Amino acid sequence: MNNVVNVIDTAADMVNLARYPIADLDTAEGAAFAKQCRREYLETGLCMLPDFIVPGARQILAEEASAISSEAYFCKSTHNAYLTEDNPEWSVQDVAKRQEQTYVGSVAYDRIPDDAYLRRLYLWDPLKDFIGSVLGKSEFYRFADPLGACSINVFVDGGEHGWHFDESEFTVTLMLQAPTSGGAFEYVPKIRGRANEKEIVAAVLDGNRNGVVELPFTAGTLLIFGGQQTIHRVTRVSGRRARLVPVLCYSEQPDLKNSESVRMLFWGRTGNEAGLRA
Ligand SMILES: [Fe+2]
């Protein structure tokens, strides 16, 4: 009898290394795999790795996230697709005048226990180095934000994220738990900067489905996504089971954090409060 194979403890136990050799990027096989991922990211605007997390770890991570989902801070906002302030000089026809709705919760990094499996995964250097290579970064660090380094997005009944381009160049997410219904991730790849960008955005906001791609929500998938070039949304969630998606943040500079105003917006506090958590 040997039960050792089923034990999940470290990040290396959680990742499907047989399919995705991310810990061996200095071998020929690992380097070829990373190169293929890089090509996929450049060509399509995203790199999607289904079954990245092995089934046993998926369940552990989902239960862990679910157990702390009540710690989420919820933010309801109205925004345009560019996440910019309104400008009175824009014409009323300007697509940037159009408003979208977002209602999403986020469990801050400092609410994720020190021994959490998600934290072990985030703090694992081979994962960081692999993501950096997919994004083509020579310098790549985990984000130093006390709240936003690695957080968990929580979409409860009525939760949604309206159409937008991200402010950050890339986003890394882990699909952990699909909601009872809704919560589809939809996008129109790589339209930023095209001559007809605004026409495409207007059509998408009007509900035109031309070019809209829906990404299946499969638990255990890692997604590296270039959200600055690709308009995207999460459709409205309904039902009792929440949509749970950890967001792993990185930076090209060490010690980079969100501004305090961004932290106030997403988590209702700055994370500088002394003595709240050991
Ligand atoms: Fe986004």
Cβ atoms of 175 and 218 closer than 8 Å = yes
- C-alpha 141 to ligand 1 mean position (Å): 20
pLDDT tens track for 216-261: 899 999 999 999 999 999 999 999 999 999 999 999 999 999 999 8
Q: What percent of the chain has pLDDT over 90?
A: 89
Alpha carbon of 5 to ligand 1 centroid (Å): 37
Residue 272, pLDDT score: 87
Average pLDDT, the chain: 94
Which amino acid is present at 241?
R
CATH of 46-267, one of 3.40.190.150, 3.40.50.300, 2.60.120.620, 1.10.1060.10: 2.60.120.620
The pLDDT assigned to 278 comes to 40
Number of CB atoms found within 10 A of residue 162's CB = 21
- Residue-wise pLDDT for 125-149, tens only, equals 999 999 999 999 999 999 999 999 9
Measure 75 CA to ligand 1 centroid, in angstroms: 14
Percentage of the chain beyond pLDDT 70 is: 96
Cα–Cα distance, 177 to 244 (Å, whole number): 5
CA nearest neighbour of 71 among 105, 116, 103 = 105
Mean per-residue pLDDT, 141-164:
97
Return the pLDDT at 274.
Answer: 56
d(CA 100, CA 97): 10
How many angstroms separate the alpha carbon of residue 185 from the centre of ligand 1?
10
Q: pLDDT digits over 81-101, tens only?
A: 999 998 889 998 899 999 999
- Where do the domains of the chain lie? 46-267
Q: How many Å lie between the centroid of ligand 1 and the Cα of residue 232?
A: 6
22 CA to centre of ligand 1 in angstroms: 25
Tell me what pLDDT residue 5 has: 56
- Distance (angstroms) between ligand 1 centre and the Cα of 233 equals 7
Report pTM.
0.93
d(CA 29, ligand 1 centre) in Å:
32
Ligand 1 centroid to Cα of residue 263, in Å, is 16
pLDDT of residue 166: 92
Sequence-separated (6 or more) residues with CB below 8 Å from residue 274: none
